[in-house]
Structures are given as structure tokens and as C-alpha cells.
């Protein structure tokens, strides 16, 4: 991965290059920021630049043996750790057991999302985990000298999914790694990390992709008409994964919209029987799909509140969503918007903590009945 392949983020790239040119590379860094901003591509490009044997002024050469191996994600001194299936104690699993799928996924698109990765692992109803067994694997790998590069680099994607025992075992290693060893942690939710890990890393805050860079990237990649490309950029809000999603007009978006409309209509009518059926239908779709639905619903509440305030310049809706919201937005106002938002965030957190799906959905339905008539 080369820096020039990353969408936008020129300031972050410059900052990373400077740490190498000034020979002050922090041994443990945490890349944080919104989804789809390019945190993982930045970490991989940084690793490639660090170990490139023919560095250019602002990027790796892309031609030396080190670059070619890292571009194929097969360099012996570049290691990856990521969430995997939860296995039984008698058969512990680590990232190494899924490295082929990982490479295939990243070679298809380095702008990966947790949900897409869990789909690859057939984890629709569960969340991945970085298990306790992973810590021994990490320690074992990093205790060896580097094979051919100047640095051994360990990229940990979604460190917030580390089992607590894994995190505790790695604290000392992250604080005092072996010589020429770097940790690059890439987090979607840094608030879930142990404070002791946060305190041992230098944070790199990656912002959302700027509109100009996003427009140039999707126009070139998808050959979109300018009007369509600008609509996608507006809807994506700096998230490349959102942009891809809108371009591909995923069936999931339509399904989420239909579920959202059903929830709001039945809640407003106090149709408890209908909501019971809605809950029964939705509960089995799996935790990751439910999280996606809550994320979508939160976005719709925000957009409807903005529409109610007549702030159309910052409303991000498709035409179908606008048609519904033109009538619905009057019910999302200053007296209930924050409370609805909090209820959706609570439902998202509860699902993330593996609470009972039907209970969460029914409780959310009851709260919507109350709040839509405030």
C-alpha cells in the first residue's frame, strides 16, 4: 500500500513521513477516527514506507523487494492481528488461522469494515474476538529478530476486541517492545480500549475524508457523472465505505429504510401487536445486522431533526428517504430528538454486549411509542 493510493489524508501522511525522516518513530501508535477514513490503509502504507529500502521523498518506492512483499501482505516482518471466531478452549485459534482470508479481503479493498470482515468469517450472529491465545502468538513472533527488514511491525486491527487477558499480557510488551519493534493499533472505537493501553500509545487522529479528495477518487474509480458523484459525496460524509455503499445501491439500505418506516409508523399509531411482529421478524437477523440497522436509524433521526430545523444544506438523504422525511420530520424535534438518539445508542451498545435481541427491540419500540408523541 502506497501513500498515494490513499484517499485524501495528506496532512496525516506528511506527519507519518516526518517521523521516519527525523528518525523518531514512536514504538506504539494508535490510529483512531471515523469509519471509512482510511486508518488501516494508512497504517499499512506507513509500515511499507518504514521498511522501504529506496524511500522517496514522500512515499515508498513500490519496487524494492520489501515493498513488493508488503503490497502482497506477505512480508515476514509485517504481522497482523485481527478479530477471529471464538473457539473452544480445547482448540484455540489465532489470526494465523485466518491469514489467507485476511489477505484476500484486504487485497480486494483495504477500506475494510468490521461487518464486512465478520461476513467473510460467517459471523453474522456474533462478533469476532482477539482471543487470549493470541497474546502468546504475538509474544512468540516478536521475540525473534527481524528476518530481513529494519523493523518488525505488528498491526493490530480492532484492538478493542481483545480479550482482557490478551490486553493485560501485552501491556508490558507494548510499553517496552523488543528492539526495532513497532506496534500500530487501528481502532474503530478507542473508548473501549483499556486506559492502560491508551496511555502507552501515541494517538494519530484520522479525520473523515475531505469532499474534494472523495469526489476525485469515486469519479475516477467508478466513472460517475458529476451530479451523481457529488450526491454520493454529500451522502457519504467523509466515509469511503458509505460512498461505495451508495454507489452500489445495496439492497440492505432499502431493507433498513423499510424497517425504519415500519417502526416509526407503528410506534406513532401505538400499534403494539404490529410492533411485536416487527420485533419477531427483526430479532433473528444477527447482531451485526442489528447494529447496522441501529446505525442507519440513528442517521435517519439526525437527518429528520435537521430537516425539521429547515437546515436543508446539511441534510444527507436519498430521494426516497427525503420523500418519507418530508412528512415524518415534523415529529422529530428539540423535545425528543436527543432522547430518541440516546435510546438508539443504548440499543446499539446492548447488542454489542450480546444482550437479548428481542428484549432490546421491544424496549426500543415502547420507547418510540412514548417519544414520538412528546
Summarize pLDDT for 90-106 with one digit per residue, the tens. 466 888 989 999 999 99
- Which tens digit of pLDDT belongs to each residue from 305-328? 999 998 887 787 877 888 999 999
User: How far is Cα 146 from Cα 154, in angstroms, rounded to an integer?
Assistant: 12
Please state which CATH number belongs to domain 249-371. 1.20.272
- Which tens digit of pLDDT belongs to each residue from 260-298? 999 999 999 999 999 999 999 999 988 888 998 998 999
Domain at 3-205, CATH class: alpha beta
Prediction pTM value: 0.70
Residues 6+ positions from 20 with CB-CB distance below 8 Å: 49, 50, 55
Q: Where exactly does CATH 1.20.272 map onto the chain?
A: 249-371
pLDDT at 178 over 80: yes
- H helices of the chain, in order, are 10-21, 39-51, 65-71, 99-108, 114-120, 132-142, 164-175, 195-198, 211-222, 226-236, 240-248, 251-269, 272-282, 287-308, 319-328, 337-352, 357-371
Residues 6+ positions from 30 with CB-CB distance below 8 Å: 159, 185, 186, 187, 190, 193, 198, 201, 202, 203, 204
pLDDT at 88 over 70: no
User: How far is Cα 274 from Cα 364, in angstroms, rounded to an integer?
Assistant: 14
Q: With bands split at pLDDT 50, 70 and 90, how would you rate the model's confidence at 213? A: very high
Residue 232: all three cell numbers together: 454520493
Q: With bands split at pLDDT 50, 70 and 90, how would you rate the model's confidence at 139? A: confident
Residues 6+ positions from 215 with CB-CB distance below 8 Å: 229, 230, 233
Contact 331, 368 (CB under 8 A): no
Q: Where exactly does CATH 3.40.50.300 map onto the chain?
A: 3-205
| C-alpha R_g of the chain | 22
Which among 359, 354, 344, 346 is positioned nearest to 129, based on CA atoms?
354
Which among 193, 185, 218, 241 is positioned nearest to 35, based on CA atoms?
241
pLDDT at 244 over 80: yes
So what's the pLDDT on residue 47? Answer: 95
Q: With bands split at pLDDT 50, 70 and 90, how would you rate the model's confidence at 158? A: very high
Residue 148: all three cell numbers together: 530481513
User: How far is Cα 34 from Cα 32, in angstroms, rounded to an integer?
Assistant: 7
Contact 8, 18 (CB under 8 A): no
87 against 53, higher pLDDT: 53
- Which tens digit of pLDDT belongs to each residue from 4-51? 999 999 999 999 999 999 999 999 999 999 999 999 999 999 999 999
So what's the pLDDT on residue 29? Answer: 95
So what's the pLDDT on residue 91? Answer: 61
- Residue keyed to cell 489470526: 95
So what's the pLDDT on residue 251? Answer: 65
What does the mean pLDDT of the chain come to?
A: 89
So what's the pLDDT on residue 125? Answer: 60
pLDDT at 369 over 80: yes
Q: Which residues pair with 358 in a beta bridge?
A: none
CA 39 to chain centre: 9
Residues 6+ positions from 134 with CB-CB distance below 8 Å: 81, 94, 95, 162, 163, 166
Q: With bands split at pLDDT 50, 70 and 90, how would you rate the model's confidence at 83? A: very high
In our burial notation (b when 16+ CB lie closer than 10 A, e otherwise), range 162-171 reads bbeebbebbe
Q: With bands split at pLDDT 50, 70 and 90, how would you rate the model's confidence at 217? A: confident
| Percent of all residues in the chain with a pLDDT value above 90, rounded to a whole number | 56
For range 184-213, the mean pLDDT: 91
Amino acid at each position: 500500500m502506497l501513500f498515494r493510493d490513499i484517499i485524501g489524508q495528506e496532512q496525516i501522511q506528511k506527519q507519518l513521513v516526518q517521523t521516519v525522516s527525523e528518525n523518531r518513530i514512536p514504538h506504539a501508535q494508535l490510529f483512531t477516527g471515523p469509519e471509512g477514513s482510511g486508518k488501516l490503509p494508512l497504517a499499512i502504507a506507513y509500515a511499507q514506507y518504514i521498511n522501504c529500502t529506496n524511500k522517496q521523498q514522500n512515499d515508498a518506492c513500490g519496487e524494492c523487494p520489501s515493498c513488493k512483499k508488503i503490497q502482497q501482505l506477505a512480508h515476514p516482518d509485517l504481522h497482523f492481528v485481527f478479530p477471529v471466531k471464538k473457539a473452544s478452549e480445547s482448540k484455540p485459534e489465532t489470526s494465523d488461522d485466518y491469514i489467507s482470508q485476511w489477505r484476500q479481503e484486504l487485497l480486494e479493498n483495504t477500506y475494510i469494515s468490521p461487518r464486512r470482515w465478520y461476513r467473510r468469517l460467517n459471523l453474522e450472529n456474533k462478533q469476532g474476538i482477539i482471543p487470549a491465545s493470541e497474546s502468546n502468538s504475538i509474544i512468540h513472533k516478536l521475540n525473534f529478530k527481524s528476518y530481513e527488514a529494519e523493523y518488525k511491525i505488528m498491526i493490530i486491527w480492532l484492538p478493542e476486541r481483545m480479550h482482557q487477558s490478551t490486553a493485560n499480557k501485552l501491556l508490558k510488551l507494548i510499553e517496552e517492545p523488543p528492539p526495532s519493534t513497532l506496534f500500530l493499533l487501528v481502532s474503530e472505537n478507542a473508548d473501549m480500549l483499556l486506559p492502560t493501553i491508551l496511555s502507552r500509545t501515541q494517538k494519530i487522529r484520522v479525520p473523515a475524508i475531505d469532499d474534494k479528495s472523495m469526489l476525485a477518487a469515486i469519479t475516477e474509480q467508478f466513472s460517475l457523472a458529476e451530479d451523481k458523484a457529488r450526491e454520493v459525496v454529500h451522502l457519504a460524509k467523509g466515509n469511503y465505505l458509505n460512498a461505495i455503499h451508495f454507489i452500489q445501491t445495496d439492497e440492505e439500505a432499502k431493507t433498513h429504510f423499510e424497517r425504519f418506516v415500519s417502526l416509526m409508523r407503528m410506534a406513532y399509531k401505538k400499534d403494539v401487536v404490529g410492533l411485536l411482529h416487527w420485533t419477531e421478524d427483526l430479532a433473528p437477523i444477527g447482531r451485526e445486522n442489528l447494529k447496522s440497522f441501529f446505525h442507519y436509524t440513528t442517521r435517519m433521526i439526525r437527518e429528520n431533526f435537521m430537516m425539521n430545523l429547515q437546515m436543508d444544506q446539511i441534510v444527507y438523504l436519498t430521494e426516497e428517504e427525503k420523500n418519507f422525511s418530508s412528512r415524518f420530520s415534523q415529529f422529530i424535534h428539540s423535545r425528543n430528538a436527543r432522547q430518541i438518539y440516546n435510546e438508539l445508542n443504548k440499543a446499539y451498545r446492548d447488542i454489542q454486549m450480546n444482550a437479548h435481541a428481542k428484549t432490546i427491540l421491544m424496549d426500543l419500540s415502547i420507547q418510540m411509542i412514548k417519544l414520538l408523541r412528546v
